[in-house]
Amino acid sequence: MSQAVEAREHARQQAQAQLQSIVELVTAIESARLRGLVLHGDEWLGLEELEERARERPLSVLVRSAWSAPGSELQPVEYEILLCTGGPAVRIRGELSEHGEPTSARLEAQDWFAPWETQPTTTDENWALVEFALLFWFGG
């Protein structure tokens, strides 16, 4: 197996691990909204604790604005949630509404010296990524 193919596979595996963890966490948050306490891992947690754990996961949360005239107020139009870095790195990127709320999400991964690549997700996984992103404040 070539180094490039091996790096891509390594990044894909890390992205899948991050995605599975986010899907489980978002599912637990949704259950806690309905039931109160839920079993997550080996702990019984409430909604606030689960949301706090989700907000503590990223290494960074960033926004980017669109082209604007000098001196005008900048509005964030894109976001990035960096989940892990190094070899491999994984992030979620997407667009923001005029109110600063995520309207889309895509999972991207890369390994050393390789470009970022969008990872395939199912409709349910994509929903979980957007729900995860909605837990953060992006300004606006």
What pLDDT does residue 1 have?
A: 60
Secondary structure of 37-102 in HEC code, one letter for each residue? CEEECCEEECHHHHHHHHHHCCCEEEEEECCCCCCCCCCEEEEEEEEECCCCEEEEEEEECCCCCE
List the chain residues with pLDDT less than 50: none
What pLDDT does residue 135 have?
A: 96
Domain edges within the chain: 3-133
What pLDDT does residue 128 have?
A: 97
What pLDDT does residue 10 have?
A: 85
What pLDDT does residue 140 have?
A: 57
